[in-house]
Amino acid sequence: MNGLLEDKTAVIYGGGGAIGGAVAHTFAREGARVFIVGRTQAKLDAVARAAADTGAAWKIETAQVDVFDEQAVREHAAAVAGAADGIDIALNAVSVLHDQGTVLSDLSLEVFLKPIDGFLRSLFTTSKAVAPHMGVRRPGVILTLSEPGAKLAVPGILGHAVSAAGKEAFARVLAAELAPNIRVIGIRPHAVLDAPDAGSYTKELFEQMASAGDLTVQQFLETGLAAGTLLKKLPTLAQIAETAAFLASDQSAAMTGTVVNLSAGALVD
């Protein structure tokens, strides 16, 4: 039985991270040839080794590339397209550690701009690199990640919220520019329950918040953030990865220019 992504080629930027790695495994399981990209080779290698448990290790290839190096990203995308006769799917799962909790009166311009510049720069660079190699042989899909902060009005998340809103606006406008042969869809998860234990940068972020309430990171997630959702739980890496596989597949061929809400009801559109 063929998988959802049989014979498709996918590039995952930030593929050594918690979400990127989970998606890479799911894409490979569903039949895709997966190229994972990141700055830390050891993390990429760990994702590729773990794929052996799914029997799909041979479908994951790694490349150490700095996503903020526009030329390097462009050259890598061209190399992938040359080896695989095009690119069908691209996911930007690049993470940027940033401040949350500091209000305007104490916030510096540099700290405010860090997530905005980091997330949007990487999204621009990777999207521009893959787009010329998509939608020729068959329709292409670009997936992006954002956060509920894109629409929440709570204090202390200025840079985070603006970067999240920017990523969603970027995906929406890019969908219009690349139609009809390339679809662009955003995924908006809340804090991911098992991401800190999987090595996510969010562990450091949540540790600061958890310590203020004398909680562990898991306690903060399970009793703090989860309690603020309608479903009283947080999304998992597996749920995000399975959603990404569906969105990247032909089964979602009527979807573009939208954001899929995986916030467990923390945010209701």
| Residue 40 falls inside a structural domain | yes
**Phi and psi angles of residue 30, each rounded to the nearest 5 degrees, phi first:** -85, 10
For residue 214, what are the domain limits? 193-234
Tell me: do 144 and 72 sit in the same domain: yes
Number of domains making up the chain: 2
Contacts of 145 (CB under 8 A, 6+ apart): 19, 91, 92, 93, 167, 186, 187, 188, 189
The CATH number linked to 136 is 3.40.50.720
Let me know if residue 167 belongs to a domain: yes
Each residue's pLDDT tens digit in the chain (269 positions)? 589 999 999 999 999 999 999 999 999 999 999 999 999 999 999 999 988 766 655 589 999 999 999 999 999 999 999 999 999 999 999 988 888 888 999 999 999 999 999 999 999 999 999 999 999 889 999 999 999 989 988 898 899 999 999 999 999 999 999 999 999 999 999 999 998 888 887 787 788 778 877 888 888 898 888 999 999 999 999 999 999 999 999 999 999 999 999 999 998 87
One domain, residues 74 and 206? no
Question: Radius of gyration over alpha carbons of the chain, in Å?
Answer: 18
Residue 4: inside a domain, yes or no?
Answer: no
Same domain as 226, residue 172: no
- DSSP letter string, the chain: ---TTTT-EEEEETTTSHHHHHHHHHHHHTT-EEEEEES-HHHHHHHHHHGGGGT-GGGEEEEE--TT-HHHHHHHHHHHHHHHTS--EEEE--------S--GGG--HHHHHHHHHHHHHHHHHHHHHHGGGSSSSS-EEEEEE--GGGT---TT-HHHHHHHHHHHHHHHHHHHHHTTTEEEEEEEE-S-TTTGGGT-THHHHHHHHHHHTT--HHHIIIIIIGGGSTTSS---HHHHHHHHHHHHSGGGTT--SEEEEESTTSS--
Q: Are residues 49 and 168 in the same domain?
A: yes
- Say whether both 44 and 167 belong to one domain: yes
- Domain check: are 184 and 198 in the same one? no
Q: Is position 268 within any domain?
A: no
The answer on 208 and 94 residing in a single domain is no
Residues 118 and 226 in one domain: no
User: Which pLDDT score is estimated for 55?
Assistant: 61
